[in-house]
Amino acid sequence: MSKVLEVSDLTVAYGAIRAVRNVSFRVEPGELVTIVGANGAGKTTVLNALCGLRDIRGGRIRLGTTDITHLPPQDRVALGLSQVPEGRRLFPRMTVAENLEIGAYTRREAAAVAADLEWVLELFPRLRERGRQLAGTLSGGEQQMVAMGRAVMARPDVLVLDEPTMGLAPQIVDLVLDALRAINANGVTVLLVEQNAYRALEIADRAFVLESGEIVMTGTGAELLDHPDIRNAYLGYDA
Kindly provide the residue ranges of all beta strands, DSSP E only, lying in the chain, ordered along the sequence. Answer: 5-14, 17-27, 32-36, 58-63, 66-67, 81-84, 158-162, 189-193, 206-211, 214-220
3-state SS, residue 9: strand
pLDDT value for 230: 87
Domain membership of residue 133 as a residue range:
5-235
| Mean pLDDT estimate for the chain | 92
- Whether the pLDDT of residue 148 is over 60: the answer is yes
The share of the chain scoring above pLDDT 70, in percent, equals 97
Q: What pTM value is reported for the model?
A: 0.92
Helix axes 110-123, 140-152, angle to 10 degrees: 150
- Counted domains in the chain: 1
CATH number, domain at 216?
A: 3.40.50.300
Alpha-helical segments (H) within 89-169: 96-102, 110-123, 125-129, 140-152
Phi and psi at residue 211, to the nearest 5°: -130, 125
Nearest Cα residue to 6 out of 69, 82, 86: 69
Cα(157)–Cα(64) distance, rounded to whole angstroms? 9
pLDDT value for 173: 93
The model's pLDDT over 181-238, given as tens digits with 9 standing for 90+, comes to: 999 999 999 999 988 899 999 999 999 999 999 999 999 999 999 998 888 877 754 4
Asked whether 204 and 34 are in contact (CB, 8 A), the reply is: yes
The model's pLDDT over 28-51, given as tens digits with 9 standing for 90+, comes to: 999 999 999 988 899 999 999 999
**What letter represents residue 162's amino acid?**
D
